[in-house]
Amino acid sequence: MTIDGKTVLVTGANRGIGQALVTEALARGASRVYAGTRQPLAHPDARVTPLTLDVTDAAQIQAAVESVESLDILINNAGIALYDDLSDRAVLEQHLAVNFFGTYGVTQAFLPLLTRTRGAIVNNVSTMAVAPFPLTPAYAISKAAAFNLSQSLRALLGGRGVRVHAVLTGPTDTDMTRGFEVPKASPESVARAIFDGVENGEEEIFPDSMSQSLADSWRNGAVKAMERENAAFVPAEPAAA
């Protein structure tokens, strides 16, 4: 799939990786970029259509679907990350509400449009989905759930021609990692690598040097092989009449 001429929707589009994804989609010739944000957004490029979209708000999701005519690529990027120690159930629920149920809700709502275009879903997950960082365990749990969701959706939607990409992003220099002193990738380089991965049909995308260290062992590993074996149990779609 090439981005040129495609319609793309990015959630959490006003800052960080989401903002960089909007810029990169435009640079690659996207015909329309729907920028989902919680606060009103103005963008100088006429191809950008702002959408009011809190991913935890079912009414806003529905209104967004009704204002989008056609969609090729949905990028579930909106996310939160708070420090915690798993002692407070409310913090876990907060992460699940945005990072997991937000991704789930937006995906289900846009699925009819994506099926029509035989499009793609891109879930910005995290390396923490597979290797949790113990200072943000609630975040890691929500990302593990979103990753597992991506794997099941990939199997369930493959027959309808909808591809599902999971981005195992490593530390990136955004508000989310402010004050956390580790080497970080730029949001612009991560956005470029995400679209490269989509264009190259990579199921898992490792968009920075830290996450790249997982790529070979993941792609050639026993877990990926088992995911493919399990996917074969999905009944084939009946041929179109």
Ligand X SMILES: NC(=O)c1ccc[n+]([C@@H]2O[C@H](COP(=O)([O-])OP(=O)(O)OC[C@H]3O[C@@H](n4cnc5c(N)ncnc54)[C@H](OP(=O)(O)O)[C@@H]3O)[C@@H](O)[C@H]2O)c1
Chain positions contacting ligand X, by CB under 6 A: 11-12, 14-18, 38-39, 53-56, 77-81, 98, 102, 124, 126, 169, 171-172, 174-177
Which residue from 203, 197, 233 is spatially nearest to 220, judged by alpha carbons?
203
Closer residue to ligand X (CB): 196 or 234: 196
Report which DSSP code applies to 128.
G
Give the span between the Cα atoms of 112 and 198, in whole angstroms: 20
Q: Shortest approach of ligand X to residue 89 CB, angstroms?
A: 19
Paired tokens of 90: 């409310």
Q: Shortest approach of ligand X to residue 230 CB, angstroms?
A: 25
Q: Shortest approach of ligand X to residue 235 CB, angstroms?
A: 32
Q: Shortest approach of ligand X to residue 112 CB, angstroms?
A: 21
Closer residue to ligand X (CB): 54 or 72: 54
Report which DSSP code applies to 142.
H
Closer residue to ligand X (CB): 1 or 130: 130
Give the span between the Cα atoms of 21 and 35, in whole angstroms: 10
Backbone angle region of 166, left / alpha / beta, with phi > 0 → left and psi within -120 to 50 → alpha: beta
Closer residue to ligand X (CB): 68 or 231: 68
Residue at 230: amino acid letter: N
For residues 163 and 120, the answer to whether their CB atoms sit within 8 Å is yes
34 is catalytic: no
Among candidate residues 34, 83, 104, 139, the one labeled active-site is 139
Give the span between the Cα atoms of 55 and 203, in whole angstroms: 24
Give the span between the Cα atoms of 209 and 212, in whole angstroms: 5
Catalytic residue IDs: 139
